[in-house]
Amino acid sequence: MEFHHLGVATADASGLAALFAELFDAPVAHEEEFDGMTVLFLELEPGYFELLEPHEGGAISRYLENHGPGIHHVALQTDDIEGALETARGAGVELIDDEPRPGAWGHEVAFLHPKSTGGVLVEFVSH
């Protein structure tokens, strides 16, 4: 599979975007308000940082409370999320999403439970 993005939980997406643009030459590729969060995609070559700044309760808000800011998940791109979920199910992996659901930037996404994948929260994404 292809690396698509690294999700980062933050309380200050625009400040972190400005720093990452300076340090990593990673300009903003896309910005939107989604699911109670400011979501900023910063361009790598290839792939993205996805900065997630919550404005209300939810998974990222709880993550910030429990862990502080930092890397939250890795997203891998596939054209066949349902097939990838079927493979994961067959391998005994616990799924967070049984089926693809809409994500930011018009993506279809589905998450695997990190307790099945070595503590790594993995998102399948169809971009």
Nearer to its own copies (CB atom), residue 22 or residue 56: 22
Q: Within positions 74 to 113, which residues make up the interface with its own copies, using CB under 8 A?
A: 74, 76, 84, 87-88, 91, 93, 112
CB–CB of 126/85 below 8 Å?
Answer: no
CB–CB of 91/85 below 8 Å?
Answer: no
Interacting residues of 67 by C-beta distance below 8 A, sequence separation 6+: 9
71 binds its own copies (CB under 8 A): yes
- Residue entry with tokens 């309760």: 57
Tell me the per-residue interface mask from 28 to 67 with its own copies, x by CB under 8 A, - otherwise: ----------------xxxx--------------------
